[in-house]
Amino acid sequence: YGSNCFAVRGAIVYLTGDPFLETAETCLQYIEDGLLIIDAGKILSCGTAQKLLRSLPAAVPVQTYPHGIILPGFIDTHIHYVQTDMIGSYGEQLLDWLNTYTFPEELKFSDPFHCKNVAKRFMDQLLKSGTTTAMVFCAVYPESVNALFEEAQKINMRLIAGKVLMDRNAPEGLLDTVQSGYADSKRLIERWHGTGRLSYAITPRFAPTSSPEQLEAAGQLWKEHPTTYIQSHISENKKEVAWAASLFPERKNYLDIYHHYGLTGKQALYAHGVHLLEEEFQCCYDTGTSLAHCPTSNMFLGSGLFDVSAAKNKKRPVEVGLGTDVGAGTSFSMLVTLNEAYKTGQLRNVPLDAVKLLYLATLGGARALSLEDKIGTLEAGKEADFIVLNTHATSLMKERMERVTSIQEALFLLTVLGTEETVEATYVAGKLVYKKQF
């Protein structure tokens, strides 16, 4: 036990398996009165309070959360920090929304002071929502990446981000070139990738805004830096799918564009996938490519209903994480996003139970990012990124919670009634970084 060792006490919940492939019971770990002991930024042990308190030295402080459910920190696998200030922009679907609201907003990030201001507020929103890891789109400007990584570094947060690559079909001021996009990304990788808990993601915005040469350069860069990530968008909107096909007529489907340029594989993650075909899911599975389910965004832009059960087909299960996709997404809260994931499931006639939902927001995200050896559960040895949800956060939730009879029911209610207000505390690398004032 080191001098900074401490413990938290409350109900403990996490998953150790994929409930889309195994029964909920085999995946769900639940300790009604649990103790989590943290030392040097890692989880030292996790078990029943009764057992662990017996051998815990008296000098180790114990923080008790009376109505708390201790969970792994949420993992938001798709979000745009540069769209924080344009969340909730009215009335358009994807392509018009990009031209009308998004591109003008992202132009502001040529100013490093603006980057820093937004990065700070973005980080605050993540932490108060219980999100401890995110995979983030920045703007085309390298300064926008520096500003975000600097903020994340201050609290030793595990964060993946990258500079957007786009060299066509956007306003002049937002475009890079094949050469500058490659060189700027490479410089950012050298500066940031692997420093502390930060990782770089090579970030072609989506096929329509990159020339074939730029996609090729992105693939080349990934080969030169194989521990970095790839992030992009795919098959979100029907007009977008048709446009991508018209720009790359020789490719057999949308994913085949990325696949052709070497942009599929483990540590490649594509957001949306609403209109993917069976052969594209198969390619995700064959290559280890992951998807981000972004339900609030898909509803908000009228993009469609992502079919999680098709993605997770047991014959060729694809790793799927959850993404808020702010600013097309309408909330930073992963609980709110799970609520929409549930409703998307209902409209697809595949109800998602609480264990599946929780998986998407935690271990599923960790696996989609190949980080399951570090985060996503509360097992001993994992990095101490965890949150405390308060089942009495609001009067409605308190009154309803008093009537539940199982942990599954309580967890489901947290996803239906929960918001950022439900988050009582957020810990990153074993440090308290957000505490709700009740």
Does 236 participate in binding ligand GUN (rule CB under 6 A)? yes
| Residue 206 interacting partner from ligand GUN, Zn ion, none (CB closer than 5 to 8 Å by kind) | ligand GUN
Asked if 56 contacts 41 with a C-beta cutoff of 8 angstroms, the reply is no
Does 293 participate in binding ligand GUN (rule CB under 6 A)? no
Q: Give the x/- contact pattern for ligand GUN in 35-64, rule: CB under 6 A.
A: ------------------------------
Q: Which residue is nearest to Zn ion (CB)?
A: 325
| Residue 264 interacting partner from Zn ion, ligand GUN, none (CB closer than 5 to 8 Å by kind) | none
Q: Are strands 229-234 and 198-204 parallel, antiparallel or unpaired?
A: parallel
Using CB under 6 A, which of 84, 102, 169, 231 touches ligand GUN?
A: 102
Using CB under 6 A, which of 10, 28, 46, 80 touches ligand GUN?
A: 80
Min separation Cβ 158 and ligand GUN, Å:
23
203 or 267: CB nearest Zn ion: 203
174 or 271: CB nearest Zn ion: 271
- Amino acid at site 414: L
60 or 328: CB nearest ligand GUN: 328
60 or 268: CB nearest Zn ion: 268
| Residue 388 interacting partner from ligand GUN, Zn ion, none (CB closer than 5 to 8 Å by kind) | none
49 or 369: CB nearest Zn ion: 369
Distance of CA 221 to the CA centre of its chain: 23
CA dist 183 and 169 (Å) reads: 21
Q: Which residues sit at the interface with Zn ion, rule CB under 5 A?
A: 271, 325
Does 233 participate in binding ligand GUN (rule CB under 6 A)? yes
In which element (H, E) is residue 94 found? helix 94-97
What six digits make up the tokens of 325? 């996709």
Nearest residue to 334 via CA among 128, 162, 81:
128
Min separation Cβ 217 and ligand GUN, Å:
19
Quickly list DSSP for 63-87.
EEEEEEEEEEPEEEEEEEGGGGGGT
In which element (H, E) is residue 218 found? helix 212-224
Residue whose entry in the numeric block shows the structure tokens 């490659």: 182
Nearest residue to 133 via CA among 393, 323, 409, 337:
323
| Residue 391 interacting partner from ligand GUN, Zn ion, none (CB closer than 5 to 8 Å by kind) | none
Per-position b or e across 33-63, b if 16+ CB within 10 A of its CB:
ebbbbbbebebbbbeebeebbeebeeebeee
Asked if 77 contacts 292 with a C-beta cutoff of 8 angstroms, the reply is yes
98 or 127: CB nearest ligand GUN: 98
Cα→Cα distances 40→43, 44, 428, 429, Å:
8, 9, 12, 8
What six digits make up the tokens of 70? 């201790």
CA dist 6 and 23 (Å) reads: 34
| Residue 102 interacting partner from Zn ion, ligand GUN, none (CB closer than 5 to 8 Å by kind) | ligand GUN
Binding segment toward ligand GUN, per CB under 6 A, in 27-35, 94-102, 138-146, 185-193: 94-102
138 or 384: CB nearest Zn ion: 138
CA dist 356 and 32 (Å) reads: 20
169 or 426: CB nearest ligand GUN: 169
Does 76 participate in binding ligand GUN (rule CB under 6 A)? no
| Residue 236 interacting partner from ligand GUN, Zn ion, none (CB closer than 5 to 8 Å by kind) | ligand GUN
38 or 166: CB nearest ligand GUN: 166
| Residue 36 interacting partner from Zn ion, ligand GUN, none (CB closer than 5 to 8 Å by kind) | none
171 or 381: CB nearest ligand GUN: 171
238 or 374: CB nearest ligand GUN: 238
Min separation Cβ 138 and ligand GUN, Å:
11
What six digits make up the tokens of 78? 């798709």
Three-class SS of residue 413?
A: helix
- Amino acid at site 141: Y
Nearest residue to 383 via CA among 228, 147, 155:
155
| Residue 151 interacting partner from Zn ion, ligand GUN, none (CB closer than 5 to 8 Å by kind) | none
CA dist 56 and 48 (Å) reads: 12
CA dist 364 and 431 (Å) reads: 24
Using CB under 6 A, which of 325, 340, 385, 420 touches ligand GUN?
A: 325
CA dist 22 and 159 (Å) reads: 29
Scan residues 176-215 and list those touching ligand GUN (CB under 6 A): 205-206
Does 158 participate in binding ligand GUN (rule CB under 6 A)? no
Q: Please give the residue ranges that form the binding site for ligand GUN (CB under 6 A).
A: 80, 94, 98, 102, 205-206, 233, 236, 297, 325, 328
